[in-house]
Amino acid sequence: MSAVAEQKSNPMTLPRLAKVTLNIAVGKPGEQLEKARKVLEILGEQKPSPREAKSTIRDFGIHKGESIAVLVTLRKEKAKAVLKKLLQAKGNAISASSFDELGNVSFGIKEHIEIQGMKYDPEIGIFGMDVSVSLEKPGVRVQRRRRASCSIPLKQRVSKAEAQEFFRTVLGAEVR
């Protein structure tokens, strides 16, 4: 049985959207970080969490433990809706080099005002953001659960080709 025929007959082999992570790194605490927080709150419709610096970098004025970025993680239908908006901002096309071997995709948005539904606010300004998308197949919970966890076989992991096919068929994006 071919891989495509097996996917059609077995729903456990179909990839699904696990999560979409939006990250805006400002590099310093203060007013800019609060503005970035507002942008993610509007886009993700939930409260973003701050991310602290892991080490001190004197040249950039960053101290260990300082909040320098904000991040929001979206799941289920909200993640799919926001991802479609983000792909439209990218021209509904994504580079093949953005995919890794485990079915994850990462790309950047240069200006948040390119996203459908986002308007320019002079009080906030313009921010760019990093977008990371994780795909998984049903049954991955077995690997993550606390009790009786075990590894999952390679055929249950999302490959680069399967991730690209998911973006073409489910999200309608062009993979270049």
Domains and CATH numbers, the chain: 3-175 (3.30.1440.10)
**For 102-124, how does the pLDDT look when each residue is reduced to its tens digit (9 = 90+)?**
989 999 999 998 988 888 888 88
The per-residue pLDDT for 3 is 56
pLDDT at 83 over 90: yes
Average pLDDT over residues 42-52: 92
Give CA separation, 94 vs 11, 87, 106, 116, in Å: 26, 8, 9, 17
Q: Is the dihedral of CA 108, 93, 82, 97 positive or negative?
A: negative
Pick from 64, 105, 63, 68: nearest CA to 86: 105
Q: Hey, which residues does 129 pair with through a beta bridge? A: 109
Total-model pTM: 0.87
Q: Indicate the residue type of 26.
A: V
